[in-house]
Structure formats: structure tokens, C-alpha cells
Amino acid sequence: MRAGYRTALVTAMLLAGCASSAPAGESSESSEPLLGEQLVDYANLYSALRELRPTWVRRAREVFVDNELAGDIGVLRRSTSDEIRFIELVPSREVVRRFGPCQAPAGTGVIDTPRDPQCGTRPVIHIVRYLR
């Protein structure tokens, strides 16, 4: 009897470990980019990401548009899906490699000042638009 209980317990633990760790309402494919056509029914990009990729909104602090710093996550509230090819989440390990050192944008008069003290330690949201 005891052996059967242990077997059931081990099986339950293994099954729990194999279960998806994605939050409810979010697919386990949440690292997949969002295509522009998936965003057209939303008032702004923030609303779309809150529903379609809520972990992106919770984890990212900065937004890049076509490889250029656009601002903090609040930029998404003022942005719509017009001319967007896709949106991706760039993992923290890729941020500096893809977007360069974490310095204030050129022309701001600020030299060697980090944009964000945690830059490069958090993922960023990258919006890729259609070329004009």
C-alpha cells in the first residue's frame, strides 16, 4: 500500500514539473513575436500587450522602435498598430549586443550617463515597423 502511495506522489510531482509555467491566458509561446495584424483591434500597443503578452509589460522597462530607443514602457500607450511589422521581446542578455551600450541618446548633452541603471539586466520591447 505504501509503495503505491509513493508511486502516485512521484508521478504527481513529475506531472506538475512538466506543466506549462505560463500565466493563465498567456500561451507558452509568449516569446514569439506579435505580428502587426494581431494588434489592429486594440486602442494602443499597451492594451494589446497587456492582453496578448502580459509578462512583456511586467518585465520590460524600455521600448525600442527600429533599433532606436523610443522611451520607457509608457510610449506604448501613445502608439498604435499603424505600419508595424512585428513586436518582439529582446532578452536581457541580448540588449547591449543588439542596441549598443546603455548610454543616454546622442544629442542630449549628457555624456556617459546610463539611460537606466538596470539597462542590460532587463528585457526590452522592440517594435519593427514597415520601411517607408
pLDDT tens digit string along 76-120?
A: 999 988 889 999 999 988 988 888 776 555 555 555 555 555 666
pLDDT average, residue stretch 59-79: 91
pLDDT for the residue numbered 131: 63
What are the grid coordinates assigned to 30, written together?
Answer: 509568449
Using alpha carbons, select from 78, 84, 45 the residue that is nearest to residue 66: 84
Q: What is the phi-psi region of residue 89: left when phi exceeds 0, alpha when psi lies from -120 to 50, beta otherwise?
A: beta
> Please, which residues bridge with residue 90 across strands?
124
Provide the percentage of residues in the chain whose pLDDT is more than 90.
37
Helix (H, G, I), strand (E, B) or coil at 46: helix
